């Protein structure tokens, strides 16, 4: 389970976040990254972590964010909503 106290500071403000336990495994980027139908997640400058560049808006992005959370192997994605 993601830890809000370890929240990556690059996350857009809001209830969805990625914490510092993230490893660049590509799973969430494949689901909600720049090349997807619902882009909202991206790598930081040195590609060592992922963050929510924007918060999900609308059902498609909410579903993609939830799928990324469900499939994250390090459980680094959180939702405080």
Q: Which pLDDT value is given to residue 24?
A: 86
Residues of the chain with pLDDT under 70: none
2: Cβ contacts below 8 Å, ≥ 6 apart: 17, 18, 19, 21, 69, 75, 76, 77, 78
Cα(43)–Cα(9) distance, rounded to whole angstroms? 13
Q: What is the CATH number of the domain that holds 45?
A: 3.30.70.20
Q: Which pLDDT value is given to residue 6?
A: 97
Could you tell me the residue range of the domain that residue 69 belongs to?
Answer: 4-79
pTM: 0.94
Residue 74, classed as helix, strand or coil, is coil
The count of domains in the chain is 1
Cα(11)–Cα(44) distance, rounded to whole angstroms? 10
Cα(12)–Cα(15) distance, rounded to whole angstroms? 9
Q: Which pLDDT value is given to residue 25?
A: 93
């Amino acid at each position: 389970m993601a830890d809000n106290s370890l929240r990556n500071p690059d996350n857009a403000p809001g209830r969805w976040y990625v914490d510092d336990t993230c490893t660049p495994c590509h799973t969430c980027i494949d689901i909600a990254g720049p090349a997807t139908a619902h882009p909202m997640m991206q790598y930081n400058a040195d590609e060592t972590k992922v963050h929510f560049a924007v918060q999900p808006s609308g059902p498609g992005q909410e579903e993609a964010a939830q799928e990324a959370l469900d499939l994250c192997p390090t459980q680094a994605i959180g939702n405080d909503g």
